[in-house]
């Protein structure tokens, strides 16, 4: 899905930049070789970055044969 129509940046690209260290929209866009234009996408892009960088619950396998559950 396109998040930034000015720069044609997708959600997957923003998430990938967050995973390699971009903590802000500016950093993510710079890593992709562009910068904010109209600014309409900034809030949503930051939400994606924050979500991607948030700690994830650890999963543990159980011997019951059921699906893994959050610890």
- Is there a contact between 50 and 42 (Cβ–Cβ < 8 Å)? no
Q: Quick one: 36 or 46, whose CB is closer to ligand FES?
A: 36
CA dist., res. 10 & res. 7, Å (int): 9
Q: Quick one: 35 or 69, whose CB is closer to ligand FES?
A: 35
Residue 15: name the closest of 45, 55, 58 by CA. Answer: 45
- Is there a contact between 11 and 1 (Cβ–Cβ < 8 Å)? yes
Q: Quick one: 10 or 69, whose CB is closer to ligand FES?
A: 10
We find the least distance from the C-beta atom of residue 58 to ligand FES, in angstroms, to be 34
Residues that bind ligand FES (CB under 6 A): 4-7, 36-41
We find the least distance from the C-beta atom of residue 37 to ligand FES, in angstroms, to be 4
């Amino acid at each position: 899905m396109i998040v930034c129509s000015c720069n044609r940046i997708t959600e997957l690209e923003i998430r990938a930049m967050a995973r390699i260290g971009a903590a802000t929209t500016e950093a993510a866009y710079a890593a992709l070789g562009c910068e904010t234009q109209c600014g309409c996408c900034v809030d949503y892009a930051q939400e994606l970055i924050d979500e991607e960088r948030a700690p994830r619950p650890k999963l543990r396998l159980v011997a019951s044969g059921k699906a893994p559950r959050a610890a």
